[in-house]
Structure 1
Amino acid sequence: MPESGQPDIIDRIDALTDDAATWSAGGEHTHTWWATATEGAIAAVELSTAGLGSVELSETEPDGDIARRIGDPGVDRISPLYRVQFWVGGNSMATCPVNTGATTFLHRLLIDVRDGDYVASDAEREHARTLLDTPDTLPMIHGPCLITGVGEDSSAGPLEENFQGWFTTLLDQLVQMRHELLDAIAREIGVPADRLGGLVFLSLD
């Protein structure tokens, strides 16, 4: 999920997945450290224009934390799945540039739902398929974004295990891709791979 002109999001992913749990042999995943919140809080995924991270929101009054983190007193949400919400600023479409990383992340989620790589209902798969078949209707995220589960009355809630497992697997894949790219560059220029850890990869799209 590279972002044009932005700091290396893969470095953020590396840091986020240092201690991430992996899938067991039976196909079940354990609880990931990044999704473990302190008492009285819920964990959320933050996709800012500068990168990615795990943050905590108040369990009882998350709205204020969401507004503060997205920088907009008015909040809106995109609900690609019944139990997953993307929170964005109510005015961000008019005041903020497209958040390329968050938009790419959302589209990847929809693709994996459609293709059966994310546990979802038939209705959710059909919804994802419809959006992807008509690119003009695909949501575009502007400005900072937070991802949460769904609580009472559609408020922010804990992230469900399906999302946690999918996200952790995605992060692991991206980290592996980064390492493979560094190894390939190191072989090409004849420099040890551990000397290339500070490289920043930018999209030229």
Structure 2
Amino acid sequence: MDRRFDLEAWRHFVLVAENGGLNLAANVHNIEPSTLSRSIKSLEASLGRPLFVHGKRPLSLTIFGQEALKEAQKLLAQHRVMLETLLSSKEKMEGVIRLAIPGGIGPGMVTPRILEFQQICPNVEFDVVQLHKGAVLDQTFSDGETLPHLTVGYSTGGSLAGLVYRYVGKMDFIPCCSPRYLSQYGSPQDPDELVNHKGLIFKGSTRKPTEFLVK
């Protein structure tokens, strides 16, 4: 395992160097000396150069180790700042997000994601609006209404002012049938055979009915 990119290994190295020995670092930071020893040996092996002058007391750094300590201290300080910034920014995030979603995907797909998000940002609330007239925004909202901040829906293009539309891909529909149907009619191998088959097409408020089959 290449420990050069292991932040924990560098942290162990800094602890031992700053405390002047394995046992002192282990006592101060409540870490097993064997854990510190393995980290440093693995780090030195990955670097291909010793960080400490081994076999001598008191423990001292090599010239390479002295330079590595300066850079590792900077790295760990930057890491602490990064974590503090991220965590504090999440705690400061608060307010209400108005989210419009089609009724069919809310409980199973969206609600679990909202709960996960609120574990990270507990001060953010969601006002969920169901697209009651279908999954096309233009059928639910009109210009001048309070529009959602975010939404998911079916649409070929946007006409409501104030919303930014982003295309995320097409939704394919897969024909399915029961084993009993297959045993009676078989599975079509060619489009021309579809005249011998029967099917049901969904027609509702959330999407237009399918008028033709592709592939």
**Larger fraction in strand:** 1
Alignment TM-score, normalising by the size of structure 1 = 0.25
* Normalised TM-score (structure 2): 0.24
Higher helix share: 2
Q: Greater RCO between the two (CA within 8 Å, min separation 6)?
A: 1
Larger Rg belongs to: 2
